[in-house]
Amino acid sequence: MDLALSPEQQEVRTLAREFAEREVKPRADAIDHNSEFPRDLVDKAARLGLLGVLVPDAYGGAGLDHVSFAIFVEEVARFCASTAVILDVHNSVGTEPVVIFGSEEQKGRWLPDLAQGKKLAAFALTEPEAGSDAAHLKTTATRSDRGYLLNGTKIFITNAGEAGLYVVMASTRPGSGADGITAFLVDGDNPGLKVGPKFKKMGLNGSAIAEVYMENCAVDEADRLGNEGQGFRIAMRALDSGRIGISAQAVGLAQGALDDAVAYARERKQFGKPIGELQTIQNKVADMAVKIRAARWMTWKASALCDAGLPFTREASMAKLFATDAAMEITLDALQVFGGYGYLEEYPMARRVRDAKACQIYEGTNQVQRVVIARELERV
């Protein structure tokens, strides 16, 4: 088994690292403190081809694999988890369903704009009354002369208000659960789609989440993604590789926290010597490093299975569960290494703790990951 990165994957790491260190790092604090959507960074990432990471080059994308995708998200998340989740959601759950399930006409219409960053993508599954139990969503899609009319409310939608494309799950057969769900590609300019005010949240302050309301939102038949009743499968497939992105985001958050903790422990002196010479601090950073290594390899393993066209649902859920729990522990431990300074918003440690919490919740809570993993184990 080869655990080395290919030359192409190493190139992606170099490119993403330079972008993250030069462009993202200096902006991260302001993005958080001002709850500022980093449109400038999205545009810069687009110019580097980082908005079409998983889009084939025939449609103007970079045509990279999921290992490269994970590397790119990790590098950005080392400095700014808000920017990472915006780019992650766009590339994975927002764009990849079009790559995998889109017709030639849909791919030609959407992918070049998405890959060039002319449009940002969002994924709209969750509803006020249907979170973990997404199969029982209430948004309906009823047949009309031209196609369908969508009616319903989505909640917590990342990139809402900023997106030019919403991948929306709605029921074409209400009362049929998962079998009645159909996916639609809804233009952000559709007059039947409205976005509520941005929610104030505890972290990821640069990313926008809001409610999305659809009232007689008319979409053409040609905007249906896949067949009627295929929407739940499309959503679950999107979330499988979406979880690779969330794992990578968690690894990046944790790596950034470890890097800062090690640097601080070298400099901060108490009792006449650097605190990094205290065994209690050494134990902490060693444990952090081990968990990060394990989380990164689990993320790459799930990515490699996906790239090989093999089943990867279980590995993606395992990686998401492990990496995001590890990120929560590691960001808290790193904050502790900073002592009282860690508690100040002047340092990035508190921000990382606030940001890491979301990773345990979205794209399936970590309790739901355990349900997925147990179900997958029973299949063996």
Ligand X SMILES: Cc1cc2nc3c(=O)[nH]c(=O)nc-3n(C[C@H](O)[C@H](O)[C@H](O)COP(=O)(O)OP(=O)(O)OC[C@H]3O[C@@H](n4cnc5c(N)ncnc54)[C@H](O)[C@@H]3O)c2cc1C
Distances (CA, A) of 276 to 76, 124, 127, 282, 335: 27, 46, 47, 6, 14
Taking contact as CB under 6 A, which single stretch among the options 48-56, 98-106, 119-127, 291-299 is the one that binds ligand X? Answer: 119-127
Does residue 257 interact with ligand X by CB under 6 A?
A: no
Taking contact as CB under 6 A, which single stretch among the options 44-52, 117-125, 172-180, 296-304 is the one that binds ligand X? Answer: 117-125
Name the one residue in this structure whose structure tokens are 């790092």: 25
Q: Which of residues 156-195 bind ligand X (CB under 6 A)?
A: 156-158
Q: Which residue is nearest to ligand X (CB)?
A: 131
Contacts of 352 (CB under 8 A, 6+ apart): 81, 253, 256, 257, 331, 334, 335
Nearest approach, Cβ of residue 280 and ligand X (Å): 32
Please report, to the nearest 10 degrees, the dihedral formed by the alpha carbons of residues 105, 109, 110, 112 taken in order. Answer: 110
Among 120, 204, 210, 251, binds ligand X (CB under 6 A): 204
**Strand 165-171 to 121-124 pairing:** parallel
The DSSP code sequence of 248-306 is HHHHHHHHHHHHHHHHHHHH-EETTEEGGGSHHHHHHHHHHHHHHHHHHHHHHHHHHHH
Taking contact as CB under 6 A, which single stretch among the options 52-60, 125-133, 186-194, 211-219 is the one that binds ligand X? Answer: 125-133
The amino acid present at 55, given as its one-letter code, is V
**Is residue 363 annotated as part of the catalytic site, yes or no?**
yes
Task: Name the active-site residue from 23, 96, 315, 363.
Answer: 363
Contacts of 168 (CB under 8 A, 6+ apart): 124, 139, 150, 154, 183, 184, 185, 186, 212, 214
Does residue 132 interact with ligand X by CB under 6 A?
A: yes
**Strand 273-274 to 269-270 pairing:** antiparallel
Nearest approach, Cβ of residue 200 and ligand X (Å): 12
- Measured CA to CA, the distance from residue 299 to residue 318 in angstroms comes to 9
Does residue 131 interact with ligand X by CB under 6 A?
A: yes
Does residue 137 interact with ligand X by CB under 6 A?
A: no
Does residue 202 interact with ligand X by CB under 6 A?
A: no
Nearest approach, Cβ of residue 201 and ligand X (Å): 6
Nearest approach, Cβ of residue 348 and ligand X (Å): 19
Does residue 337 interact with ligand X by CB under 6 A?
A: no
253 phi and psi angles, rounded to 5 deg: -55, -45
Mask for 75-104, x = binds ligand X (CB under 6 A)? --------------x---------------
Among 69, 110, 123, 232, binds ligand X (CB under 6 A): 123
Mask for 206-225, x = binds ligand X (CB under 6 A)? ---x----------------
Mask for 351-370, x = binds ligand X (CB under 6 A)? -------x--xxxxx-xx--
Under rule CB under 6 A, how many of the chain's residues touch ligand X?
Answer: 21
Contacts of 309 (CB under 8 A, 6+ apart): none
Could you give the angle at the alpha carbon of 47 between the alpha carbons of 93 and 354, nearest 5°? Answer: 50
Among 125, 193, 219, 330, binds ligand X (CB under 6 A): 125
Terminal Cα distance for the chain, rounded: 22
Binding site for ligand X (CB under 6 A): 89, 123-126, 131-132, 156-158, 204, 209, 358, 361-365, 367-368, 371
Active-site residue list: 363
